[in-house]
Chains A and B, each alone.
Chain A
Amino acid sequence: MGNWVVTHWFSVLFLAAWLGLNVFLFVHAFLLFEKADKYYYTRQILGSALAWARASARCLNFNSMLILLPVCRNLLSFLRGTCSFCRRTLRKQLDHNLTFHKLVAYMICFHTAIHIIAHLFNFERYSRSRQATDGCLASILSNLSHQEKEGGSWLNPIQSPNMTVEYVTFTSIAGLTGVIITIALVLMVTSAMEFIRRSYFEVFWYTHHIFIIYFIGLGIHGIGGMVRGQTEESIDESHPHECAEFFEKWGDPDSHCKRPQFEGLPAESWKWILTPSILYIFERILRFYRSRQKVVITKVVMYPSKVLELQMNKRGFSMEVGQYIFVNCPSISYLEWHPFTLTSAPEEDFFSIHIRAAGDWTENLIRAFEQQHSPVPRIEVDGPFGTVSEDVFQYEVAMLVGAGIGVTPFASILKSIWYKFRNADHSLKTQKNFDKATDILTGLKQKTSFGRPMWDNEFSTIATNHPKSVVGVFLCGPQTLAKSLRKCCQRYSSLNPRKVQFYFNKESF
């Protein structure tokens, strides 16, 4: 538990701040619309539904502003670079950008639901008060004319008793854009479900670009000024607290209360989303610029089980262990960028990736390289991204578990260790190996074992051999493996904090 707090304190603080801001913005907007005099008459028709709609709208604006930021990976890399004096745990949080993106997306969905339900009630109440004939305050307010000659000072957007709410929805900017952007949101969410994303990445990638529709729609959603409040002058002249009860006399010329005048709230969403949109556009331009830089493929290796290794060079490219790049192959698809962990070590004079056939794009890529056309297909690269896996070097003993293509980050780490050892890096200590014979498979002194490891054996062996060490366990593989490793870490960590301790690092490489 203590270890969890030490590694995750920044995440907890950040999330608490984000939730806190959401709550604050919601409550602040809610109280404003529920209590302010400006909306007194509006509340006569709509009740609390007005405040619920506006409060959730404020949160929607806030979260829509935030959602673009975690996916500006070049901006994040820049922040990480300038922040090199920051503690490593702080920089690691930047790697959880996608998790934050998803959290913000869920919050947007939540507030969208509140917003829509509140507006459904609003429309229904507007419709009812327009159709009401009992001469109550609400119906008088609703009948305030839309005619220009009376100052166009209307409150109820439903202009006649025959107008249905559906008609108003689809003929007003707010209603139409609202429906469109909600449909866009639903499509984005369903195509981004983990199952779909992992199995059919292209569906997710292309559908997710309808966020453009979402943002444009959000920007123009409030233009119509359908949320109306009393004007300042009107409040000064005829304050609702004094005049509301005398609403029957508003038309009388000798009454000291005049008809209230209303104005629409100006659109404010654009103010929230303008800066992130500009940053994101800049990010895409930057990605495009970086991708235009020439990538020279120095070596192509085809392995059995359909794994392709590409060794490449790019001017100005420098990497660290555990980082990843995005790769695009225009001859296969202009728009798709797929992430791959770098398998080369920083000490090598090239960078490499290993690609396994796991879907349309990867299969096409492997086929294109198999055909050995000359020249080879052009590759574009963006990156590298991700935090350096320095953590591995911070532990006295590190246990790296990679499953399947999950060995890729560890390949990079192991190669880097090898180079450090070769260059007599004294920070690296290796243990005497007692077995003089070399392993036939790898030529190394460490024997290769075959079959699925018996974790209990492995952990107890390490615990016996390093009774006083802190062991870092790193995994790049499936969740089920993470569960068993975490259990083993807990089981084999000694109760005595000065004896062997296993720390499980669920890194997302």
Chain B
Amino acid sequence: MGQIEWAMWANEQALASGLILIAGGIVATAGQFTQWYLGTYSIAAGVLVCLLEYPRGRRAKGSTMERCGQKYMTRAVKALGPLTRNYYIRAFLHLGLSVPAGFLLATILGTACLAIASGIYLLAAVRGEQWTPIEPKPKERPQVGGTIKQPPSNPPPRPPAEARKKPGEEEPVVGVPTGGPQENPMPVTDEVV
């Protein structure tokens, strides 16, 4: 489990918890349940959590899929600097936000889920993870045909460093990595049925 970035899962869990808090809060407020003011609180807390968690952070390794339309929120979240970058702060924030909602049955599920998200964020923080924004890259116009270059002049095997310069390295289909070009077990002619 060494490469897992727990913050990514914590983010999904927190986003789900935010939605659950909002839903529970709406039910309690609309139904005018006992202590329904906790429901109103829950809606507010849920909205805050959702806004904070919607922009997905950049993964340390590999590329990250952005959520639809997240770049506006990314700017806002990034502006808060260390408050949002540091996962310890997020973990305690979520834990704190979840407590009042725990006193109302309608929102208790949101509390439990947010508390779990807080725990996962704590784990992420302990492992030194940080929230980094996904910056938009300048759009490259894909050149049609631009990647087609001259074929390599020497046959395989070609060492990896060189192969990176030449696109379209071919993996031999039958597992013989050494030797010259593909050795066919029988001669191939073009007179066929």
Contact = CB atoms under 8 A, between A and B. Distances in A.
Interface of A: 113, 116-117, 120-121, 123-124, 127-128, 165-166, 169, 179, 182-183, 186-187, 189-191, 193, 195-196, 199-200, 202-203, 299, 301, 303-305, 307, 309, 311, 352, 354, 359-360, 363, 407, 411, 414-415, 421-422, 426, 429-434, 436, 438-445, 448-452, 454, 456
B193 A429 contact: yes
Given A200-B9, A415-B174, A448-B170, 7 more contacts: A124-B34, A186-B20, A186-B109, A187-B13, A203-B1, A301-B177, A429-B193
B96 interface: no
Given A124-B34, A183-B112, A442-B182, A450 B167 contact: yes
A196 B12 contact: yes
B9 A203 contact: yes
Interface in B126-140: none
Contacts of A449: 148, 151, 168
B175 A311 contact: yes
B59 interface: yes
B108 A443 contact: no
Nearest to A128: B34
B140 to A, nearest CB: 13
B150 A450 contact: yes
B144 interface: yes
B68 interface: no
B20 to A, nearest CB: 7
Contacts of A444: 182, 184, 188
A179 B8 contact: no
A451 B148 contact: yes
Nearest to B32: A124
Interface string B78-117: 0000000000000000000000000111101100110010
A450 B166 contact: yes
Given A123-B105, A182-B109, A448-B151, A200 B4 contact: yes
B163 interface: yes
A432 B116 contact: no
B183 to A, nearest CB: 7
Contacts of B23: 113, 117
Interface in B155-187: 155-157, 159-160, 163, 166-175, 177, 181-184, 186
Contacts of A307: 171
B33 A124 contact: yes
Interface string B35-77: 0000000000000000000001001001001000000000000
Nearest to B189: A445
A57 B80 CA distance: 44
B13 A190 contact: yes
Contacts of B146: 451
Contacts of B12: 190-191, 193, 195-196
B142 to A, nearest CB: 8
Nearest to B154: A440
B33 A450 contact: no
Nearest to A457: B145
A202 B4 contact: yes
29 contacts: A123-B105, A127-B34, A165-B105, A179-B112, A186-B109, A189-B16, A190-B12, A191-B9, A195-B12, A199-B5, A200-B3, A200-B4, A200-B5, A200-B8, A304-B160, A305-B163, A352-B175, A432-B191, A438-B181, A440-B155, A441-B152, A441-B170, A443-B183, A448-B168, A449-B151, A450-B149, A450-B150, A451-B149, A452-B148
Interface residues on B, range: 35 or more
Contacts of A193: 12
Contacts of A429: 192-193
A196 to B, nearest CB: 5
Contact of B106 (A120, A189, A431, A445): A120
B164 to A, nearest CB: 9
A195 B8 contact: yes
Contacts of A433: 190
Given A183-B116, A190-B12, A430 B192 contact: yes
A75 B168 CA distance: 41
Contacts of A421: 192
A196 B9 contact: yes
B190 A443 contact: no
Given A120-B27, A304-B159, A422 B148 contact: no
Contacts of A456: 144
A117 to B, nearest CB: 5
A56 B3 CA distance: 40
A481 to B, nearest CB: 12
A303 B177 contact: yes
Contacts of B174: 415
Contacts of B104: 166
A204 to B, nearest CB: 9
Contacts of B106: 120
Contacts of B17: 186
Nearest to B67: A195
Nearest to B17: A186
A172 to B, nearest CB: 12
A451 B168 contact: yes
A454 B186 CA distance: 33
B57 to A, nearest CB: 12
Contact of A360 (B2, B103, B148): B2
Contacts of A127: 34
B4 A443 contact: no
A74 to B, nearest CB: 28
Given A304-B159, A360-B2, A452-B147, A179 B109 contact: yes
Contacts of B170: 441-442, 448
